[in-house]
Amino acid sequence: MSCADVTVLKLNTKGTKVRRDIELALPRSFYARDPVRVAHELLGKILVRRGAKSIRTARVVEVEAYLRERDLAAHSAAGQTLRNAVLFGPPGHAYVYFIYGNHYCLNISCEPEARAGCVLVRALEPLLGVEEMARARQIQLKDTSTGELKRLTSGPGRLAEAFGITRSGDNGADLTDTKSGLWVTRSDFKVDKIIATPRIGITKSADLPLRFVIAGNPFVSGKKTILPRQGCL
């Protein structure tokens, strides 16, 4: 499973490391669709953060869709404000907001023409740059077991911290342009089954089944018994 995707860095004939899919961001057309569709297809894709001399990647394993119509939990529900302006812009941009005085959360705008739907990224499976994620989270990893890695990126606030995502730094970033330093790329990973559940932590429109997770993936947020797993580093 996860170990296979670490080979997004492969060796060419000269033995030099070359980047394959990582440098190709998903196109804007991917995001210019309804949020439920985008949410589904985002599962299994890979979020990439490039710094000056480092790269962090992780697989998307949990998302939530927020709709423009009949969804009172969406930040866009009450219309455009300064905070949510990105949602009313073109698709494929990062909407980053600050919550509970502590955490940032990453959304991706979707739908054509300012319809203000989006997808919240809720959990990732760490792939490359695990040590930098741990640094960003100020966590000392005891090992590379699933249980330890899960602490890095399992939850919207956690993954934002692990990837160094902030409102000042990333709100409005174009995720279809690798020059932004933050983008999403394709993966050969096959998502066998998607499970839909109500969304987490909301009070309005709380019954809609708009949270989507990769069935059985241990990096999905929430408490759960972790099966023992061999380290990946």
Partner DNA sequence: ATATCGATTATCT
Partner DNA sequence: GATAATCGATATG
Integer Cα distance of 58 and 153 in angstroms? 9
By CB under 7 A, tell whether 94 contacts DNA. Answer: no
Binding mask 39-68 for DNA (x = CB under 7 A): -------------------------x-x--
Residues contacting 136, CB < 8 A, separation 6+:
161, 162, 163, 164
Binding mask 176-195 for DNA (x = CB under 7 A): --------------------
Instruction: Mark the segment that binds DNA (CB under 7 A) among 49-57, 172-180, 183-191, 199-207.
Output: 199-207
By CB under 7 A, tell whether 203 contacts DNA. Answer: yes
Contact 145, 229 (CB under 8 A): yes
Integer Cα distance of 195 and 181 in angstroms? 31
By CB under 7 A, tell whether 135 contacts DNA. Answer: no
Strands 55-66, 46-50: parallel, antiparallel or unpaired by DSSP?
Answer: antiparallel
Q: Hey, CA dihedral for 68, 171, 47, 222, is it positive or negative?
A: negative
Integer Cα distance of 50 and 118 in angstroms? 23
Instruction: Mark the segment that binds DNA (CB under 7 A) among 12-20, 22-30, 78-86, 181-189.
Output: 78-86
By CB under 7 A, tell whether 228 contacts DNA. Answer: no
By CB under 7 A, tell whether 141 contacts DNA. Answer: no
Q: Interface with DNA by CB under 7 A: which residues? A: 64, 66, 73-76, 78, 81-84, 95, 97-103, 105, 107, 118, 120, 137, 151, 155-159, 167, 199-204, 221, 223, 225
